[in-house]
Structure 1
Amino acid sequence: MVVSKSGLVVSATAVMLTAVAVAGAGIHLSSQASFRESPKELIDEVWQIIEKSYVDGTFNQVDWTAVRNEYLNRSYTTDEQAYEAIREMLDQLNDPYTRFMDPEEFKNMQIDTSGELTGVGIQLTQDEESKKLIVISPIEDSPAFDAGVQAQDIILKIDDQSTKDMDINDAVKLIRGPVGTEVTLTIKRGNEEIVVPINRAKIEIHPVRYSTQNSSTGTVGYIRLNTFSANAADEMREAITDLEKQNVSGYILDLRSNPGGLLYASIEIARMWMDQGDIVSTVDRRGELDRQRANNRALTDKPMVVLIDGGSASASEILSGALQDNERALLVGSKSFGKGLVQSVRGVGNGSGLAVTIAKYFTPDGRDINHEGIEPDVKVDLSEAQREELRKERTKIGTLDDPQYAKALEVLNQEIATAQKSQAKTK
């Protein structure tokens, strides 16, 4: 598994994210569509789905019927020609979240949200200027981790193929492969070149990491949620349950650079923190409202602070917005990404996929966060130097050397102290 990341300070540990997932899609997964016999049928199938379900009935001021006529009047001899035509067609909507995925891209997207991957377990980025492929970090307990791959290693070769000027997606294809097969990476570490053979394996991605820290008001639970994958809710439940057994005084939930994921996962997790109140509402182009609420099954009512930043998107904004509007938590950090759109992802044709924006979502107080984002209660912006330091020394994330975390801990201690005084008065 390789994760492609560009420009994120505190990178999510999840998956090889597609454009939709990077933006943090609130994703619904639909069943595989039926096969079709010709490239032109696939184009029409995609057109029909947009016609029936796209969030904007004006199709962003595009004559959608004319688009259909234009593209169905062309001749296509290969699937690849149809794929290119579909992408051109969808580009006219000017919506980066409504997009077509060829069979390989669709397979990768399904892997991304499953929480399980096959590969070596490397988080990979590409330097914008030098185009060098750089390891962000190996995933813990992965084949790459066990083989000794380290953060900041530069990948020079994949097997015998040089990575000079190689596109990161091509590198991903070469590194991924069947379980049990071997890939050899030639890496540069400082001035040394090292040849590292790695056996590919099935890797279970853990979206939740948690720990405890001592503070002036007692033990504090720190939970970092990297993505809203299929196993995120189960792991969050385990983390809260374990931390409650350790009798923590309060919680810091870190959603920084969490690009989102599955919509239902954000709702399930919100219910673990909230006993009552609305979580999110979605509105489609017909104005039909769907509202999700807490269900009196919160696992804790202890004081809570949530960390967000410009990489916190979609499902992260649903969760943080719900906690903020219901006064369940204070938010610390910088303004979130601002993606208030919900995608439906479904199979089309013979193995391809289509992500379609079908609705807008709103916070409990009715805030439309699309393009606006969630503003923190306590604003703490990082300087470029601070971002770079955290990128290079990831072990500092979630410690007192992390300025946003340090402020979150200060705010949480104040909230815990206030709660303890209030409890003392009622006794």
Structure 2
Amino acid sequence: MPKERRAPIKTKEKTKTQTDARKQFHCNLTNATKKGVFMIQKHPLYIHLLATSVIFLLLPPIEGHNTRYCTHTPQPNKETASLRIAQDADEPETGNEKKPPHKAVTKDEYDKEIYNWTRTFAQVLEITGERHYKLVSPEQCMIKAIDSFLTCLDPHSGFMGTKTYTKILETTAGEFYGVGIIIDNTRKTTDKFLTIVEPIAGGPAESVGLRAGDKIIDIDNKPIEGISTDEATSLLKGELDTIVTIKVIREGFPDMLTFKIKRGIVTEQHSMAFNIKEHNVYYISLSQFSENSIKQIKDLLKKEQKSNYKGLILDLRNNSGGLLTSAIDIASLFLDKGSLVTTTKDRSGKSIEKYITTGNPVAKTNVPIFILTNNYTASAAEILAGALKIYSEKYNQEAKKNGTEQKRLMVFLLGTKTFGKGSVQDVIPLSNNCALKLT
């Protein structure tokens, strides 16, 4: 879930985003108060939870905790070989994209037209191959040509070459071959070192003794100074069980330290959590929907079940989407079994598939849940946030009808307008380790 792209996070717009967030929050708070949703007089605790949520809302999203520099992707299994992703793109769908008019045709007419143009394309390849075979890479030219054809269908369909497809498999699988470190992304090319923010728990780097704050100055006898962060991290890549030698400077140690690390399988952590003790609120951040997201979130919720927290903050800011099935699984942690989360339709509006929760809820049912969003919250993240909010309102209406107090699910959305992408793409493996991404 062309290269799969995330909506760019522009630092220079943070001030505007924070201003918009304040306006949106005041609007949400005003509307909610008018409807009596917050029941402030009955539940003064909500005031503290709202204040805590707004503090997080006005802070930039926590970045860097999911940055993993690893190596080769494991061979895709049946689950990862054909993916259904709900991922953002560079621009939201506006409905105003101008396309050349095309009369409705039969399948036979379409095949005939494609055949004729394929002959023309073959002629182009033959002529350019004779004259310019030394100037171009056939692989890159074909990737661009096929991608251009697919983007005529819609902004989100496209063709993925080996590099992009491998990256998608890595992202959705949530596992990589590598040393398992989180590095400081703010490093400049002129810096003489690469700072380790944190070794990944249970990863190869942690097992050999690398620590947060260690400064890498050399990888396999190649100095870090003068090369980009991407180049530096690429030196950490390699095949499973191969050895990489890293030299680091550690505070308090006069001599340089050398570590030999065997590259291994590292699980990517797309989520993090902590308890805000002063308000007794549990905070969970989720940056991507991958195959292991459900286990991570489920474990985090179970871990704090006995802590008697009074509110939950689910931070979906800058979450660009990912596996649709992962979002449905996470919805199952909050909704009743058998709840319809979303339905996919084809271009004609015909229903293709209904996504229904299959597991039993794990999250506490009697505490308010505040979901933080921004304009980079997209696709699968929008589906999850929307589903939880809709069912919260449904449960509330049922409670009012029955004359009881609604405690099943209390969800409040705080933040700016989300990205706005409701389409889903199937990722279909092709030859040459490439893939077709089709809406």
* Superposition TM-score, scaled by structure 1 size: 0.59
Residues 215 and 60 from structure 1, CA distance in 2 versus in 1: closer, same or farther, beyond 3 angstroms? farther
8 Å CA contact 1:15–1:112 kept in 2: the answer is no
8 Å CA contact 2:270–2:293 kept in 1: the answer is yes
Q: What is the letter of the counterpart of residue 197 of structure 1?
A: F
Structure 2 counterparts to residues 381-420 of structure 1, below 5 A: none
Structure 2 counterparts to residues 20-99 of structure 1, below 5 A: 29-31=80-82, 61=100, 65=114, 68-73=118-123, 74-75=125-126, 81-91=138-148, 93=151, 97-99=156-158
Residues 207 and 353 from structure 1, CA distance in 2 versus in 1: closer, same or farther, beyond 3 angstroms? same
Equivalent in the alignment of 1:285: 347
RMSD over aligned CA atoms reads 4.3
Larger Rg: 2
8 Å CA contact 1:281–1:292 kept in 2: the answer is yes
Alpha-carbon separation, structure 1, partners of 2:247 and 2:160: 31
Equivalent in the alignment of 1:109: 168
Report the Cα offset of residue 134 of structure 1. 6.2
Equivalent in the alignment of 1:52: none
2:385 paired with 1:320: yes
Residues 196 and 221 from structure 1, CA distance in 2 versus in 1: closer, same or farther, beyond 3 angstroms? same
Report the Cα offset of residue 315 of structure 1. 1.8
Selected match of 2:64 from 11, 16, 23: 11
Alpha-carbon separation, structure 2, partners of 1:357 and 1:154: 43
Report the Cα offset of residue 254 of structure 1. 2.2
Equivalent in the alignment of 1:373: none
Residues 295 and 121 from structure 1, CA distance in 2 versus in 1: closer, same or farther, beyond 3 angstroms? closer
Alpha-carbon separation, structure 2, partners of 1:313 and 1:343: 14
Alpha-carbon separation, structure 2, partners of 1:84 and 1:176: 27
Report the Cα offset of residue 172 of structure 1. 4.1
Alpha-carbon separation, structure 2, partners of 1:238 and 1:169: 33
Structure 1 unaligned segments of length 5 or more: list them: 18-27, 33-55, 359-427
Residues 14 and 283 from structure 1, CA distance in 2 versus in 1: closer, same or farther, beyond 3 angstroms? farther
Identity of aligned residues (%): 25
Alpha-carbon separation, structure 2, partners of 1:123 and 1:158: 16
Residues 127 and 235 from structure 1, CA distance in 2 versus in 1: closer, same or farther, beyond 3 angstroms? closer
Alpha-carbon separation, structure 2, partners of 1:165 and 1:72: 44
Q: Deviations over 1:275-295 (max 9, x none)?
A: 275422323223222343446
Selected match of 2:292 from 231, 253, 257: 231
Report the Cα offset of residue 310 of structure 1. 4.2
8 Å CA contact 1:16–1:112 kept in 2: the answer is no
Report the Cα offset of residue 69 of structure 1. 4.9
Determine which structure has the larger strand proportion and give its number: 1
Q: Deviations over 1:251-304 (max 9, x none)?
A: 222223333221101011112112275422323223222343446833342321
Q: What is the letter of the counterpart of residue 423 of structure 2?
A: L
Structure 2 unaligned segments of length 5 or more: list them: 10-60, 71-78, 84-94, 103-112, 393-409
Structure 2 counterparts to residues 28-427 of structure 1, below 5 A: 29-31=80-82, 61=100, 65=114, 68-73=118-123, 74-75=125-126, 81-91=138-148, 93=151, 97-124=156-183, 130=189, 137-145=198-206, 147-150=209-212, 156-163=217-224, 166=227, 170-186=231-247, 196-199=258-261, 200-215=263-278, 219-275=280-336, 278-289=340-351, 290-294=353-357, 297-299=360-362, 300-302=364-366, 303-327=368-392, 328-350=410-432, 352-358=433-439
Secondary structure (helix, strand or coil) at the match of 1:341 reads coil
**How many residues in Structure 1 have an aligned counterpart in Structure 2?**
317
Equivalent in the alignment of 2:87: none
Secondary structure (helix, strand or coil) at the match of 2:426 reads strand
